[in-house]
Amino acid sequence: MGVFAWIIVGLVAGWLAAKIVNAPHGLVRNLIVGLVGSLLGGFLFEKIDIHVVPDFWGELITATVGAIVLLFLWQAIRRR
């Protein structure tokens, strides 16, 4: 997957995660959350031995799950 595709997946995953967690952010923050979330999702899926299809939809699912986890962690830290 090329860099442009990673950016698209990151934007969509960040936007979906923000909608699911109800944490609206701007375009740049959604991109950052989506890209970091994709790394986190890939790490978590590898650790719990979940394999998704390596296409756009599989990458989007992985990135969205990671972004949701990242936003939940961020909200938990900020509440302290």
Q: What is the pLDDT of residue 1?
A: 61
23-77: pLDDT as tens digits? 777 778 888 888 888 888 888 888 998 888 888 888 888 888 998 998 888 888 8
Domains of the chain: which residue ranges?
Answer: 3-79
Q: List phi, psi (to 5°) of 74.
A: -60, -45
Q: What is the pLDDT of residue 5?
A: 78
Instruction: Give the span between the Cα atoms of 32 and 13, in whole angstroms.
Output: 10
Instruction: Give the span between the Cα atoms of 11 and 48, in whole angstroms.
Output: 25
